[in-house]
Amino acid sequence: MKIEFDTIGIVHSPYKEKFGVPRQPGLVPQARGSVELLPPYACVEAFAGLEHCSHIWIEFIFDRSPHGRWQPSVRPPRLGGNRRVGVFASRSPFRPNPIGLSVVRLERIVTDKGGVILEIAGLDLVDGTPVLDIKPYIAYVDSVPDAVSGFAAAAPGACFRVQFSAKALQQLAARPDGETLKEMISALLETDPRPAYIKAGREQRVYGIRLYDFDLRWRIADGTAEVLELAPPDHFSAER
């Protein structure tokens, strides 16, 4: 059976490209974004009551992974990129039906100007991600705290200490969102966002992650992730 679905909304996210997006929601709670509903779904009536929910499910399309190119087995980053597991034993985007599922905190519903925007936090979604559905998180059914979860038994621990160059600290201090942003960048880098295949032998290499309106430039040295600067986003010479 084939079935056709229609995008109901679009994600606005600080994560402007795949590289740097946290691997699960909630890992970087400081990250704030939104879901902008599209007509005819941008209808205030259709969201009535959702304001009483602290968390929502977002079902979305993994649109950065080519549709129709699924793989029976994948190498999850949590296993160091070496061991394979079945695609259905993972949350990999390379699924037969590339549907993603993330629980995020619902901060506010903005309904002025005839539109509907859901302000969310803790997202793990790339900017522009197409949304298929929004559902309330219902704790008494959706929360199974003692579920055994195979290879992803616990949250990934910190891989690195994160430090900031004098320049980066200055740049952060000059921004109104500087303090939250510093926390967010620390949470983002400490679990090592790099895919396993580019980790080896890359000490001193400068990486770039497109965040908000800047290019975050950083490197690894002696077990520390050092933030070098918040560069203008057109400086695309860093590795990503």
Return the DSSP state at 101.
E
Report the alpha-carbon distance of residue 181 to residue 189 in Å, rounded: 12
Contact 123, 54 (CB under 8 A): no
Q: Which pair of structure tokens corresponds to residue 149?
A: 């979860």
- Give residue 201's Cα distance to chain centre: 26
Question: In angstroms, what is the minimal distance from the CB of 150 to a copy of itself?
Answer: 4
User: Does residue 173 bind a copy of itself (CB under 8 A)?
Assistant: no
Which backbone phi and psi does 141 adopt, to 5 degrees?
Answer: -105, -40
Give dist(CA 120, CA 25) in Å, integer. Answer: 11
The residue range among 86-94, 166-174, 194-202, 218-226 that interacts with a copy of itself, by the rule CB under 8 A, is 86-94
- Whether the bond between 40 and the residue before it is cis, its omega within 30 degrees of 0, is yes
- Determine if 142 is a binding residue for a copy of itself (CB under 8 A): yes
Q: How far is the CB of 95 from a copy of itself (least distance, A)?
A: 6
CB 60 within 8 Å of CB 118 = no
CB nearer a copy of itself, residue 24 or residue 163: 24
Q: How far is the CB of 155 from a copy of itself (least distance, A)?
A: 5
Integer angstrom CA distances of residue 8 from 27, 94, 173, 184: 26, 22, 38, 28
Shortest spacing between CB 199 and a copy of itself, in angstroms: 22
Q: Please state the closest distance from residue 29 (CB atom) to a copy of itself, in A.
A: 12
CA 84 to chain centre: 23
Which of 86, 167, 224, 236 contacts a copy of itself by CB under 8 A? 86
- Binding a copy of itself by CB under 8 A: which of 64, 80, 101, 173? 101
Residue 132 near a copy of itself by CB under 8 A: yes
Stretch that binds a copy of itself, among 146-154, 172-180, 191-199, 220-228 (CB under 8 A): 146-154
- Residue 25 or 193: the one with the smaller Cβ distance to a copy of itself is 25
Name which of residues 20 to 79 contact a copy of itself (CB under 8 A). 24-26, 41, 43, 45-50, 52-55, 57, 59, 61, 63, 67, 72-73
Cα angle 107-110-116, degrees, rounded to a multiple of 5 = 115
The residue within the footprint of a copy of itself, chosen from 31, 121, 123, 134 (CB under 8 A), is 134
Angle, CA 64 vertex, CA 60 and CA 65 arms, to 5°: 95
Residues that bind a copy of itself (CB under 8 A): 1-8, 24-26, 41, 43, 45-50, 52-55, 57, 59, 61, 63, 67, 72-73, 84-91, 95-97, 99, 101, 103, 130, 132-155
